[in-house]
Every structure is written in structure tokens, then in C-alpha cells.
Amino acid sequence: MLEGIERLVNLVGSRSSALTGCAIGDIQEAVQQGNVEALGNSDGHFGAVAREGKTVRLARTLGLPLRYVVAKMYHGPFLVVADRMDRLFEWCQVQQIGWQFDPAYTRMIPAHYLVEIDQLGCPDPAPRYQRFFTPAVGEGSPDVEEAGVAYVKATYRAIKSWIATVPEDEPIAVAFSGGIDSTSVFLLARKALQERGGDPNRVRALTLDLGGGKDAEQAGETIRALGFQDNWEVVRVPADRLNLQEAVNVIEDYHPLDVECAAAALCLLQGIRERYPSLKYLLDGDGGDENLKSYPLEDSDLTLSSVLRNPMLYQEGWGIDAIKHSLTYSGGLSRSYVRTYAPAAAYGFNAFSPYTVRSVIAAALAIPFDTVLDGSVERLYTLKQEVVGCGIKAVTGVAIPAHPKRRFQDGAGGESYRGWRVSKAWCRQVFLRQWQERLQTASHTEQERRSGNEMLVPAEAFLASRP
């Protein structure tokens, strides 16, 4: 491998959102030095990449996706980093090595890990993983009210950290279904602005209605019960605008529930953008279900035992050492948060959910679910409403109305949702077809292919041009 050539190409840079405990420069330094303790002492979100000698290190939290691919150029590997597959592919195209690319060759950094990759040449060594988020599990109070207060206080701190980064004259939208998570975010955002001496009416709740969905009715009932009708509006979008193939392309994934959710999100965000062309800041409640394990087990092959024996299953999947772990996609919300991140980025929003922050996840994990549930699946299904409801009442003094739980796409789509539910096989076929078209173009382009043995300029001239 040629010495003296910078072989790390970072297309996304260092990023942060609601970061506390340190500055992004400190995160960058910690990643470069492999200092997992320093990373663990922070809170909020970050994504960072750095090189030390021949070792590249990458780390991220749930809210900021990070992905890389190894490209073969100039007698050795180049590590190219971005937040999306298509950006990695575009770089390869510019370098005339698009023919090398395959989306399955890309790797998603799993959330809450520092990943080390040595650039030594062929064969490429396997990455090494070190955790920087190791919360205590089940050591909190079994009292639901006490657990709820601890959980919501952590959520409130996360929202305050994010709101502190929002300019004082900027409005803030909340993706609002009237359910427990979005309602809690709406109330806590208002409280945070009041506490800072700002105008709580900068926060506006926006509800998607694709026609016949229950969310608009539910959101209206909730907002009227809270007395904030003037701070709410329904974004009505024709159901035929929903585009599942576009959603596959935007999130670069093929899990059907994530595709459906992203398709509905794209409708909402497009509707908001049409009404408010300059609106930038968006809050939502993504991650609330994962934190309190609020998913119907009958929709999967999971059992209550498997959920409780894998405390971060919904956040991280089965784990990096599990047989089901996918290097291309990571697992759990570490993978599926792209359903929120990518649509928001596509429409120019700075999106944030406090329920994805590590301190909030830790507060949820502290709940001794074994003791609280006592083996009851039915108790699991009512627990989130109880925990968050108690916490919101204690922190804000407001009682949140209770509603039946439903998925975002179901609540927005109603009867029409039955007509556009899709299978994993269909989503995967769409994904593969979209990439087949791009890769076929790359393979048959008239542009000359570049070999990994080719030097564009003599080595001496190339090295002399480096600063």
C-alpha cells in the first residue's frame, strides 16, 4: 500500500444534536484517540470519524446515521464515509470506480459503538467494536410513578438541550398524533420555552390525515382537552400522493413497517413544507415505543422472554455478535431511525426526538420490567401510557388523555392503509431494482473505468501536492 496518501474520505463531517457534556471537537478528539470513556460521558447525539495512523475510528448515536464503504484505489483501500448509500455511490462514480460499488458492501456503524478499522491493504481486516454506552438495567424503582418521573425528567432535559440550539425567533413543529409520545413532546417543548423566558406558542402541533385515519380525530380530542386548539392544525394530503417506492429510495431500506412509516412521513413533511417554506425545526416522539417495549408481540416472532432478556433489543437489535446481526444495516432503532432522519433531511428539516437520547434510554432501562410486568403481556401493553402519563403529570401538572395505541401509518391512513400495506419481499424487490438500474448505468457507462492499480499522477507529484 502506498504511504503518504490520505485514504480516509469523509463526506459527512462531524455532526451533533443536543450534545451535552462536551463539545463536538472533544468528541472528534475522543474518537481519534479511541477514548470510549470520554464518549460515554457525553449525552445527546453525535456522529464522528477520525484517523490515527493507519487506524480509522468511527462512532455514532441513534439520531445520526453513519455508513462507510471500502473502495480499492491506488494500490490499496480508501475508506469512504457518509450518511447514505447513494452519497457513497456518487463519490465512486466521480472517481470512475462506480463499477466496484454494491450497496451490500456498505456498512452501517452500530449506534453506541466505537468502531476501529485498520487500513492495511488486502485482505481488509475485520472492524473492532467497543461500547461507549453501558447503562444499568433494572436497577430503578419498580414504582410506576417514580419510574415515570425519572423517565420524563430525563426527556425534559434532552428537549431543553435541543431547544437551546434553536434560534429564539424560529418556530418549532411537532409531528403530532395525539398519542402519549407526541403529546408529551409537545407539552415538554412548551414548558422548556416558558422556562427559558420564550414564547411557548412557537411550538405548533401538526397532524397528518391521508383520509379516514383516526389520528386527526384523536389529535383533535387531545389538543382540545389540553386547551391548545390555536396551536394545532391538520395537514390533509390525498392518499394517492403516498409513494412507497419513493420511501424505499429515501430510506435505502426494505423493512415494510419502516417503508410504510417513511412514506407517511414524506407526505406529512411535504405538506408542512408547502405551508411553511422556511420552517426548519421539527420534534417527534420516535423511540418512545422502543424505550418502553410498547410493541405487539403477536406481530413478530418475539416473546416476552426474548424482549426482557435482551434489554436493548428494540434500540440495537440482537447485538453485533448475534447470528441475526446485519453489518449492512445494524439493528433495532439503530437501523430504523433512518425512517425519521432521511425524510426529514430530504425536506430540509432539523429533526429531533428526545426519546432517542442516551440518558432517556438509560432511564427507561432502569425500570425493572421483570418485576413490574410479572410475566403479563397485557401489562406490557398498558405500561407506557402509565409511565409517561405519571411523569408528565408530575413534571408539567397536565394529565394526558389516554387513547388506543396505533402505528403512525395506520393512524394517518385509516382504511386506505389496508390497501398500501406491503411485504418485505415487495420492498426488497423495489430496493434491488432501484440499485440495479444505477449499477447497470455505472457498469455500461462510456466513461473509462479506473483500475485500482492506476495512478492518476506520478506518486512524487501526488505527494508533493499534499499540504
DSSP string of 154-171, one letter each residue: HHHHHHHHHHTTS-TT--
Q: How many domains does the chain have?
A: 2
pLDDT score for 411? 85
Up-side HSE of residue 452: CA atoms within 13 Å toward CB?
Answer: 14
Give CB contacts under 8 A, 24+ apart, made by 416-425. Answer: 416/210, 416/211, 416/212, 416/213, 416/239, 417/210, 417/213, 417/260, 420/239, 420/242, 420/244, 420/260, 420/263, 421/256, 421/260, 422/244, 422/256, 422/259, 422/260, 423/256, 424/254, 424/255, 424/256
What's the CA gap between 68 and 60, in Å, rounded? 12
Statement to judge: residues 106 and 194 lie in one domain: no
| 139 inside domain | no
| 257 inside domain | yes
Backbone angles phi, psi at 355, to 5 degrees: -75, -5
In CATH, what number is assigned to the domain containing residue 150?
3.40.50.620
Location of C-alpha cell 390525515: 209
Q: What is the pTM of this model?
A: 0.93
| 2 inside domain | no
| 159 inside domain | yes
Q: How many CB atoms lie within 10 A of CB 357?
A: 29
Statement to judge: residues 112 and 80 lie in one domain: yes
pLDDT score for 405? 85
Give, in order, the Cα–Cα distances in Å from 398 to each of 288, 386, 434. 19, 14, 48
pLDDT score for 63? 97
Torsion of CA 121, 122, 126, 127, to 10 degrees: 20
| 19 inside domain | yes
Amino acid at 357: V
What's the CA gap between 206 and 144, in Å, rounded? 30
| 377 inside domain | yes
Statement to judge: residues 270 and 254 lie in one domain: yes
Statement to judge: residues 310 and 369 lie in one domain: yes
pLDDT score for 237? 94
Backbone angles phi, psi at 186, to 5 degrees: -60, -50
**Residues 6 or more apart from 429 whose CB is under 8 A from it?**
none
What's the CA gap between 116 and 58, in Å, rounded? 7
pLDDT score for 3? 65
From first to last of its 467 residues, what are the pLDDT tens digits of the chain?
Answer: 566 678 899 999 999 999 999 999 999 999 999 999 999 999 999 999 999 999 999 999 999 999 999 998 877 889 999 999 999 999 999 888 998 999 999 999 999 999 999 988 777 889 999 999 999 999 999 999 999 999 999 999 999 999 999 999 999 999 999 999 999 999 999 999 999 999 999 999 999 999 888 999 999 999 999 999 999 999 999 999 999 999 999 999 999 999 999 999 999 999 999 999 999 999 999 999 999 999 999 888 899 999 999 999 999 999 998 888 898 999 999 999 999 999 999 999 999 999 999 999 999 999 999 999 999 999 999 999 999 999 999 999 999 998 888 888 988 888 788 888 899 999 999 999 999 999 988 777 656 677 776 765 444 554 455 45
Statement to judge: residues 118 and 199 lie in one domain: no
Cβ pair 76, 451 in contact under 8 A = no
- Of 366, 407, 406, the closest CA to residue 387 belongs to 366
pLDDT score for 234? 97
| 138 inside domain | no
Statement to judge: residues 441 and 408 lie in one domain: no
| 3 inside domain | no
Statement to judge: residues 388 and 440 lie in one domain: no
Structural domain span for residue 455: 8-133+430-464
**Pairing mode of beta strands 281-283, 172-175:** parallel
Q: How many CB atoms lie within 10 A of CB 275?
A: 12
